Structure 1
């Protein structure tokens, strides 16, 4: 485990809501699951900028991978996950089968999304490397980290476009929302 991974794990472990979500989801035994996106990278930004745990975190994005792409199966998982939490977390944990994303992504975002083979592969398609960070609480209580682009951007408070995909159509909105909460952020790679 790298120094940045160790630091990320320390930050995750220090956030009571993150640990509650990770512990409760682990107990559900979902296939190939990860907690990713804002709840993870924003926790790092909070730690680095001296903001309290949970500041700016709107929800907890939970991905899992099940080759059964039927809506009924995913809906059953969504309901099962919701039942595992009390309010207010119940309303903030959003779960999606990553195998189903190619079914709705092109219509919603207007760009292709070829099939993937696992949850970690989805991270490679996030709009920015600093957003492509995920964690999972393992059976031995270790926290595993997935970050296909590394953790340097997250810890440098830097946002740059994912070099492997087109610039997100709502890039400016994404940047404006992030800078409103964390004005310390640096944006690079966009003219």
Structure 2
């Protein structure tokens, strides 16, 4: 629980993330979170003593709605978020259909889908509840995030893809304290 409290405290200090969490909450999507690099990179910056930088290619909004699998809905939601913020980095994905793209068995929830993300340290997402509490969804916990370790998620079976992704992302150039565990 120590890492979770630490994460929530850090997020509350970053007004842009808090604004984005409030905005996503207003969408009222089921089982909905902001996750991946947007959260991970912010914490890595803090752990490296850097000012907050926007070293993320997108703001991943993930939700789970088996009743509406249309990809067009995600594009419409991205337009709503862009219109509200002027930020083109929004990426919305209904995890109820992502198993098809990833070649996995159907997922049962957003947390279940996160288990299949390439890195444990990327499989982290947060939401702002109606009573303004931050809820953390991290199926592998937060230890890798705070110990600066990048390793393949156990459920992610594509080791070659993982190794190539880690090489391509070149995270150690931006965060030299990272330890990369190759698959």
TM-score (norm 1): 0.85
RMSD: 1.8
1:128 aligns with 2:127: no
Unmatched segments (≥5 aa) in structure 1: 106-111
Q: Counterpart in 2 of 1:171? A: 163
Q: Which string of whole-angstrom CA distances, capped at 9 and with x for unpartnered residues, describes residues 152-179 of structure 1?
A: 1100111111123322515233245212
Name the count of aligned residue pairs. 180
Ranges in structure 2 where 5+ consecutive residues have no aligned partner: none
CA distance in 1, matches of 2:74, 2:121: 28
Contact 1:41 1:154 (C-alpha < 8 Å) held by counterparts: yes
Matches within 5 A, 1:78-157: 78-85=75-82, 86-89=84-87, 91-105=88-102, 112-157=103-148
What is the DSSP-based 3-state SS (H/G/I as helix, E as strand, rest coil) of the residue aligned with 1:61? strand
What's the counterpart of residue 176 of structure 2? Answer: 183
- In structure 2, the CA distance between the partners of 1:140 and 1:104, relative to structure 1 (3 Å rule), is same
TM-score (ref. length: structure 2): 0.89
The offset of 1:17, in angstroms, is 2.2
The Cα shift of 1:126 comes to 1.2
Offset at residue 81 of structure 1 (A): 4.3
The equivalent of 1:108 in structure 2 is none
Alignment of 1:38-49 (within 5 A): 38-49=37-48
Matched, 1:55 2:75: no
